[in-house]
């Protein structure tokens, strides 16, 4: 394994912060956004659906491109798309136009996500070390998700509105482009990976991404990732609405509850990095779902907004390790073509984000906020069964 220069490590961490900002700004902005653009609670789930649709299309282009042209280029293109999508969203006059900008932002998110994860896969050898590195760097993601809802709360309090929060997110992504000029011309590849990396560069294609589904182990990992992102995005998008509508709390309380949820991710991922380095990633993966089920039930049974926020924070701690740990396991299996493997896992993640938050919105509309929270976390039961059985090797 080669060491990643500190400056490059810092850039990667900053880019994960930008990803967190762009995702977590959506949910807390939803109540005011719905009121301004006259959108029903069920239809508002399309905001997340269109973002995930852009993400899904983007990963199939980004993965093979990352293998052919390098991780740095793909990551830079992702930053441009993310900044442009969020910046344009701040200026749109209608709901339809806002949905269009979410496709662009989702595509940029996909390029950046694929490029970063493939770069980590190149640079770090071994399942335990790779999982630890993934969790450490992904630990920067909740910094963004923690700041974004608080930023929305401040913008609403000052009367600036949701548009200011979206604009700030786009500017944060654009600023990170300066780091690309200071980073190495080529991002590092661990010595033992170089021959396989070169083969991946010549053979990777969108078809190759789909061909990876022939392998049962990778197919199971992709299924777990799809279910997990449905839970993560479903909770992130609906925590604020849940607190506001279930307890009659204000928009600031809803935004702060979302921040509590992401604070759990911030606290949990360094802990998971230690656990995955101490035990095998396969061994710890079932723990995340089991703990998540317990904390999700606590959030539904909470008697008030404060206790609900605490339960959401604990849910963040419980489930935060799933995405980076699954990604590390997938890259261990296909480390010669990390771009294609990353595209497969992120495409599965996009499918979860594309469908489940919309379904949660439908449940909220028809059965109320408590039922919606149960729906948001239900996939954890299936994840537990898959990670306990199919991943034992």
Distance, CA of 326 to CA of 392 (rounded, Å):
13
Strands (E) located in 45-172: none
In a domain, 1, yes or no: no
pLDDT tens for each residue of 44-61: 778 888 888 898 889 888
Taking a C-beta distance cutoff of 8 angstroms, is the pair 316, 265 a contact?
yes
pLDDT of residue 2: 45
Lookup: tokens for 240: 């604020």
pLDDT tens for each residue of 339-377: 788 888 988 988 887 788 878 888 888 888 888 888 888
Range of the domain at 117: 6-389
Distance, CA of 121 to CA of 112 (rounded, Å):
14
In a domain, 363, yes or no: yes
State mean pLDDT over 159-169.
Answer: 89
**pLDDT tier for residue 205 given thresholds of 50, 70 and 90:** low
pLDDT of residue 221: 92
| pLDDT at residue 195 tops 90 | no
pLDDT of residue 46: 83
In a domain, 379, yes or no: yes
Lookup: tokens for 113: 């996500």
Taking a C-beta distance cutoff of 8 angstroms, is the pair 252, 157 a contact?
yes
Taking a C-beta distance cutoff of 8 angstroms, is the pair 139, 238 a contact?
no
| pLDDT at residue 389 tops 70 | no
Eight-state DSSP code of residue 191? G
pLDDT tens for each residue of 240-293: 888 888 888 887 788 788 888 988 999 999 999 999 888 888 888 899 999 999
In a domain, 340, yes or no: yes
Q: Which residues of 56-71 are buried (b: 16+ CB within 10 A; e: fewer)?
A: bbbbbbbbbbbbbebb
Report how many domains make up the chain. Answer: 1
In a domain, 339, yes or no: yes
Eight-state DSSP code of residue 204? -
**pLDDT tier for residue 162 given thresholds of 50, 70 and 90:** confident
Burial class (CB in 10 A: 0-12, 13-18, 19+), 108: buried
In a domain, 315, yes or no: yes
pLDDT tens for each residue of 3-36: 677 788 889 999 999 998 888 888 788 888 888 8
In a domain, 164, yes or no: yes
CATH of the domain at 187: 1.20.1250.20
How many residues comprise the chain?
Answer: 393
Count Cα neighbours of 258 within 13 Å in the Cβ-side half-sphere: 37
pLDDT of residue 1: 42
């Amino acid at each position: 394994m080669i060491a990643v220069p500190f400056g490059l490590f810092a850039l990667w961490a900053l880019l994960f912060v930008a990803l967190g900002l762009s995702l977590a700004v959506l949910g807390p902005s939803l109540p005011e956004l719905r009121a301004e653009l006259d959108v029903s609670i069920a239809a508002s789930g399309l905001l997340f659906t269109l973002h995930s649709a852009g993400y899904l299309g983007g990963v199939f282009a980004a993965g093979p491109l990352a293998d052919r042209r390098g991780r740095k280029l793909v990551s830079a293109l992702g930053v441009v798309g993310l900044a442009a999508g969020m910046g344009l969203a701040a200026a749109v006059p209608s709901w339809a136009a806002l949905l269009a900008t979410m496709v662009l932002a989702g595509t940029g998110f996909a390029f950046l996500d694929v490029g970063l994860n493939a770069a980590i896969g190149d640079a770090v050898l071994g399942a335990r070390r790779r999982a630890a590195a993934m969790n450490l760097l992904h630990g920067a993601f909740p910094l963004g998700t923690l700041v974004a809802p608080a930023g929305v709360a401040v913008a609403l309090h000052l009367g600036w509105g949701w548009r200011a929060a979206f604009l700030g997110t786009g500017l944060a992504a654009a600023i990170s482009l300066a780091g690309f000029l200071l980073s190495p011309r080529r991002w590092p590849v661990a010595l033992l990976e170089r021959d396989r990396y070169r083969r991946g560069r010549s053979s990777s294609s969108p078809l190759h991404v789909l061909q990876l589904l022939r392998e049962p182990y990778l197919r199971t990992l992709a299924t777990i990732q799809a279910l997990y992102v449905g839970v993560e995005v479903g909770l992130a998008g609906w925590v604020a609405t849940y607190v506001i509508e279930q307890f009659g709390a204000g928009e600031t309380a809803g935004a702060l509850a979302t921040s509590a949820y992401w604070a759990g991710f911030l606290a949990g991922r360094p802990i998971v990095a230690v656990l995955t380095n101490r035990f095998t990633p396969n061994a710890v993966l079932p723990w995340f779902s089991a703990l998540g089920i317990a904390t999700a039930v606590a959030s539904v049974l909470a008697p008030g907004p404060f206790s609900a926020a605490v339960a959401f924070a604990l849910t963040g701690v419980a489930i935060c390790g799933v995405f980076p740990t699954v990604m590390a396991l997938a890259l261990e299996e296909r480390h010669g073509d990390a771009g294609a493997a990353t595209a497969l896992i992120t495409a599965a993640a996009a499918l979860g984000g594309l469908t489940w938050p919309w379904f949660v919105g439908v449940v909220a509309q028809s059965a109320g906020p408590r039922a919606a929270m149960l729906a948001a976390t239900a996939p954890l039961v299936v994840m537990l069964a898959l990670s306990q059985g199919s991943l034992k090797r």
